[in-house]
Amino acid sequence: MKTLFQLLFTLLFIWQAAAQNKPEGNFVIINPGDTPEQIIEKAANVTPSHRQYEWQRMEFIGFVHFGINTFLNLEWGKKNMDIKKFNPKKFDANQWVRVLKDAGMKEIILTAKHHDGFCLWQTKYNHYNIAYTPFENGKGDIVRDLSKACHKAGLKFGVYLSPWDMHAKTYGTPAYNTYFENLLTELLTKYGKISEVWFDGANGEGPNGKKQIYDWHAYYKLIRKLQPDAVIAIMGPDVRWVGTESGYGRQTEWSVLPGSSSSLENIAANSQQKDLDNAFVPKDLTAEDLGSREKIEHAKSLIWYPAEVDVSIRPRWFYHKDDDELVKSPYKLVDIYYNSVGLNDVLLLNVPPDKNGLVTKYDIKALRGMRNILDETFKNNLVKNAVAEASNEKKGFEARNILDNNYNTYWTTSDTTSTASIEIKLDGEKSFNRAMLQENILAGQRIEKFHLEYFDGNDWKNFAAATTIGYKRLLRFPEVTTDKVKIVIDQCRTNPTLSTFGLFMAPPEVKIQPDGGTFTDTIHFNLTSNEKGAGIFYTLDGKIPDKNSLKYSDKVVLNKTTKVTAIAISPDGKKSLPVMAVFGKAKYGVKYNSEFDSKYPGGGNYALVDGLKGSTNFNDGRWQGFNGSNLDVVIDLGKVKKIKKISTDFLRDIPSFIFLPASVDFSASINGKEFSLLKNFQNDPPLNNNSPLIKKFEIKPVNLSARYIRVKAVNIGVCPPWHKGAGDKAWIFCDEVTIE
Ligand code: FUL
């Protein structure tokens, strides 16, 4: 119950806001007569709703893709799958929670129902759910166990419920809306507090598929009624998809956008339309400016609509054994963290458990590595005991508030100035290479441009600069040593605010440049570290280096296939994580008569002869792809040689649009001009088979002497009529032409 005092206070606040023509929350109308200055002032005062604020404060959350796909090695599933295959015998929700919590995540979102329609909880609204599987004799409930484990461990819990449904018979009719609301009601009433509801925009029905008119407003009303604190993400009003699944947000990220940015049609049109089309047609809408002055000037309304960056720790969303070795490295995850959390976004990192129902050791190792680096970096804020003095400050909002490690206290100026600066005297000389700034978003997002300076004894020098800050901005720069820094706000929408400032020293890092590749004669690599004075050590035999290993001083030249592993050790003995790169020596020259696709180079010009073979995962970086076109290459052995065997491998992965070639020709030549055909293989027309397969085409010629071998594989051209991508370009994926 609100007290009379609270009520009066609220009324006073609304009256004040209206009098100042300011928004009262996360929405404001732009009147036709508003001047550009008034619009900017309005934008600067739009603030998050309570639920949006609580969501933003989490910074880092976990995604779990788990379902029948996990057991059938699929990503988008298909109709009528054998759900009896669902049986994670060692399932342990507490293990998932432990691993993700240790990684620093504050919430876990589970794919309660993915596009295939299979439900991970005991629903009474279909027979396509966990109750009809052998898992725990039909008594299991992943939503129940995971929500309990999260709540017990102090984590929030969210549900992903795919609006698109391949299985539901009613999909495409109004009855589906009732079905969907029934599922939602179960999820929102049986499992305690739900903090996020994630509606995916993806739909693979294609132009001739079923069209569902979703009753979004009914869904939202239901969620607000049953779980008023939950944010509704992606196809929803509270949280926006950043526009890519790469893990990298925008350098300039506004949380205040034109009201039209939450148009559901646009969101759906920009979401995935095909299985794995994130791999084949990478969506990257992050280049687009969404909230600059130019963008908001013509808006009819403005809303607080913050961005979430969803990305998988593996190449795919669901678990596939083939991806075990392709889990992102700790450095990559840290880079993603800086480019999401550090860019005013919330990071939603997917960690898919395996068929046993456990997060694997590969993912755990990567998450631990990432957490170690982040903890080491941010454990010691070097502005502790510093003194801050601003060019202008408002009483009660002094500059010292940015140093007190309390988000709620903040600095602002006494007037609506758009530039200001704060000088910070450190407690003695300090070295640092990372900075962190936070605006107080409860007052709005305002800063448009800022830079940082340090005093070198004589002059002020710039060392970092950026545009927006928002909830959090992290900056990385080469090490600076000084006893004085300055934050300069160059441009702001109204009086700036800053809640927090930090300076940190990240542990040493080491880089191998280039980070692997294929070569013919020799190749060289360099090793660098971000830490001044760090020693760099490496091995060439796959072993983890230590201070007794080879010490790097200058570029290293390789003349054979080699695995390089390197570490940096700082003068005070701190070690970086080891990094690894493989350099493969190609045995032969390769001339292409047709070009491979730049999205699947498989390692580049020598990928077909580098001795590294592709696995059944098309995305393992080894397969070379030809999109709608033939493969036509000539391998040059350098001189005429006796040849006993020629073989080549092709991948078939039909759900991913990858087909075996219609035919494969091997021919040979002495001079590279006239070729004689050795063998023509004709393949059967493709069958609708979902399991990936590698097919070898091989000949063993007798008495063949040649210098040039030509391999030509004819693409089937387009996906066959029965395929979901019927008429779209088909892929050929080839790896390794082996000649003995
Ligand atoms: C996409 C889906 O199609 C993927 O399978 C995955 O769930 C991802 C998070 O969203 O749109």
Is the pLDDT assigned to residue 12 strictly greater than 60? no
Closest C-alpha residue for ligand 1 atom 11: 202
Contact predicate 434/476, CB 8 Å: yes
CA 95, CA 524: separation in Å to the nearest integer? 43
Closest C-alpha residue for ligand 1 atom 10: 200
Q: How confident is the model at residue 11 (pLDDT cuts 50, 70, 90)?
A: very low
pLDDT on residue 14: 41
pLDDT on residue 284: 61
Tens-place pLDDT, residues 293-332: 999 999 999 999 999 999 999 999 999 998 998 899 999 9
Ligand 1 centroid–CA 648 distance in Å is: 34
Q: Phi and psi dihedrals of 217, rounded to 5?
A: -65, -35
Is the pLDDT assigned to residue 204 strictly greater than 90? no
Is the pLDDT assigned to residue 698 strictly greater than 90? yes
Ligand 1 centroid–CA 210 distance in Å is: 19
pLDDT on residue 7: 46
Atom of ligand 1 nearest to the CA of 63: 9
What's the pTM?
Answer: 0.80
Atom of ligand 1 nearest to the CA of 202: 11
Tens-place pLDDT, residues 174-200: 999 999 999 999 999 999 999 999 999
Average pLDDT over residues 227-235: 96
pLDDT on residue 571: 87
Nearest to 132 by CA among 115, 144, 120, 116: 120
Q: What is the DSSP-derived secondary structure letter of residue 594?
A: S
Percent over 90 (pLDDT), the chain: 77
Query: Is the Cβ atom of 275 under 6 angstroms away from ligand 1?
Result: no
Beta bridge partners of 389: 423
* CA dist 499 → 30, 412, 441, 472 (Å): 28, 9, 9, 10
Atom of ligand 1 nearest to the CA of 162: 7
**Which element (helix H / strand E) includes 243?**
none
Q: Cis peptide leading into 507, omega within 30 of 0?
A: no
Nearest to 336 by CA among 374, 306, 364: 374
Atom of ligand 1 nearest to the CA of 75: 5
**Tally of helices (H runs) and strands (E runs) in the chain:** 13, 36
Query: Is the Cβ atom of 244 under 6 angstroms away from ligand 1?
Result: no
Nearest to 512 by CA among 550, 563, 549, 560: 563
Token pair recorded at residue 175:
């009855």
Query: Is the Cβ atom of 318 under 6 angstroms away from ligand 1?
Result: no
CA 84, CA 94: separation in Å to the nearest integer? 24
Nearest to 252 by CA among 314, 343, 156, 189: 343
Token pair recorded at residue 309:
């960056």
Closest C-alpha residue for ligand 1 atom 6: 317
Query: Is the Cβ atom of 271 under 6 angstroms away from ligand 1?
Result: yes
Is the pLDDT assigned to residue 17 strictly greater than 80? no
CA 177, CA 54: separation in Å to the nearest integer? 29
Ligand 1 centroid–CA 115 distance in Å is: 9
Ligand 1 centroid–CA 133 distance in Å is: 24
Closest C-alpha residue for ligand 1 atom 4: 317
Query: Is the Cβ atom of 277 under 6 angstroms away from ligand 1?
Result: no
Q: Which residues contact 500 (CB under 8 A, 6 or more apart)?
A: 402, 405, 406, 407, 436, 437, 438
Q: How confident is the model at residue 283 (pLDDT cuts 50, 70, 90)?
A: low
pLDDT on residue 587: 78
Contact predicate 656/732, CB 8 Å: no
Percent over 70 (pLDDT), the chain: 94
Average pLDDT over residues 432-454: 97
Q: First-to-last CA distance in the chain?
A: 84
For ligand 1, mutation pick of 66, 118, 199, 200 (most atoms within 8 Å of CB): 200
Tens-place pLDDT, residues 403-430: 999 999 999 999 878 899 999 999 999 9
CA 716, CA 659: separation in Å to the nearest integer? 8
Residue with tokens 């992903």: 160
Closest C-alpha residue for ligand 1 atom 2: 202
Residue 279: CB atoms within 10 Å: 18
Is the pLDDT assigned to residue 277 strictly greater than 50? no
Least-confidence region, from 87-91, 109-113, 206-210, 223-227:
206-210
Q: How confident is the model at residue 1 (pLDDT cuts 50, 70, 90)?
A: very low
Contact predicate 463/475, CB 8 Å: no
CA 613, CA 737: separation in Å to the nearest integer? 10
pLDDT on residue 282: 41
CA 152, CA 193: separation in Å to the nearest integer? 12
For ligand 1, mutation pick of 197, 198, 245, 347 (most atoms within 8 Å of CB): 245
Ligand 1 centroid–CA 79 distance in Å is: 17
For ligand 1, mutation pick of 205, 273, 317, 351 (most atoms within 8 Å of CB): 317
Is the pLDDT assigned to residue 202 strictly greater than 90? no
Query: Is the Cβ atom of 317 under 6 angstroms away from ligand 1?
Result: yes
Per DSSP bridges, beta strands 196-199 and 156-161 are parallel
Is the pLDDT assigned to residue 727 strictly greater than 50? yes
CA 690, CA 47: separation in Å to the nearest integer? 48
For ligand 1, mutation pick of 164, 272, 275 (most atoms within 8 Å of CB): 272
Contact predicate 107/196, CB 8 Å: yes
Ligand 1 centroid–CA 316 distance in Å is: 9
Side-chain half-sphere CA neighbours of 739 within 13 A: 29
Residue 28: CB atoms within 10 Å: 25
Region of 385 please: left (phi>0), alpha (psi -120 to 50) or beta.
left
pLDDT on residue 2: 40
Contact predicate 269/233, CB 8 Å: no
Residue with tokens 């700034």: 437
Tens-place pLDDT, residues 22-68: 566 888 999 999 999 999 999 999 999 999 999 999 999 999 999 99
Closest C-alpha residue for ligand 1 atom 7: 317
Query: Is the Cβ atom of 135 under 6 angstroms away from ligand 1?
Result: no
Query: Is the Cβ atom of 310 under 6 angstroms away from ligand 1?
Result: yes
Side-chain half-sphere CA neighbours of 535 within 13 A: 14
Token pair recorded at residue 489:
């706000």
CA 446, CA 441: separation in Å to the nearest integer? 9
Atom of ligand 1 nearest to the CA of 310: 9
Domains delineated in the chain? 10-50+61-377 (3.20.20.80), 387-504 (2.60.120.260), 510-585 (2.60.40), 589-739 (2.60.120.1190)
Nearest to 146 by CA among 193, 185, 92: 92
Q: How confident is the model at residue 203 (pLDDT cuts 50, 70, 90)?
A: confident
Is the pLDDT assigned to residue 674 strictly greater than 90? yes
Ligand 1 centroid–CA 273 distance in Å is: 10
Q: How confident is the model at residue 605 (pLDDT cuts 50, 70, 90)?
A: confident
CA 318, CA 75: separation in Å to the nearest integer? 6
Tens-place pLDDT, residues 488-543: 999 999 999 999 999 999 999 999 998 887 787 899 999 999 888 899 999 999 99
Query: Is the Cβ atom of 69 under 6 angstroms away from ligand 1?
Result: no
Q: What is the DSSP-derived secondary structure letter of residue 546?
A: -
Q: Phi and psi dihedrals of 461, rounded to 5?
A: -125, 140
Ligand 1 centroid–CA 71 distance in Å is: 17
Side-chain half-sphere CA neighbours of 740 within 13 A: 9
- Residue by residue, what is the 3-state secondary structure of 91-160? CCHHHHHHHHHHCCCCEEEEEEECCCCCECCCCCCCCCEHHHCCHHHHCCCHHHHHHHHHHHCCCEEEEE
Residue 408: CB atoms within 10 Å: 9
